[in-house]
Amino acid sequence: VNVAIEAFKDIQLHVNEISSMINEVTASSEELSATSQEMNSSAATIMDSMVKVANGIEELSVLYGKLKEAGRIIGDMSGRLMELVKILEKNVDKFTV
């Protein structure tokens, strides 16, 4: 009977140890799950940021195109103004009183 009681106590000790290990694994699993959720959230934030950067680059590209066109127009206007100055220089005596 004493042997049976000792065996039962030994089994109960092992069951408690196994239960403790299960609790540790559960806690670790919960920590991993929380970490995974944080990583997913960070990944989503990074993806949102990448989309914003891509949109910003696209907007900059459009603005660059508009600036190039404005520069071309300014260059054209400058050329026309120079032509007008030359015409005025040639005809300056016609405008004097």
Quick check: pTM over 0.85?
no
Position 93 scores a pLDDT of: 81
Domain interval for residue 62: 2-95
- Domains contained in the chain, number: 1
Position 81 scores a pLDDT of: 96
* 27-31, 46-50, 51-55, 88-92: range with lowest mean pLDDT: 88-92
First to last CA, the chain: 139
Angstrom CA distances, 65 to 62, 74, 76, stand at 5, 14, 17
> 5-44: per-residue pLDDT in tens?
999 999 999 999 999 999 999 999 999 999 999 999 999 9
Query: 95 pLDDT exceeds 80?
Result: no
Query: 97 pLDDT exceeds 70?
Result: no
Structural tokens at position 92: 């300056």
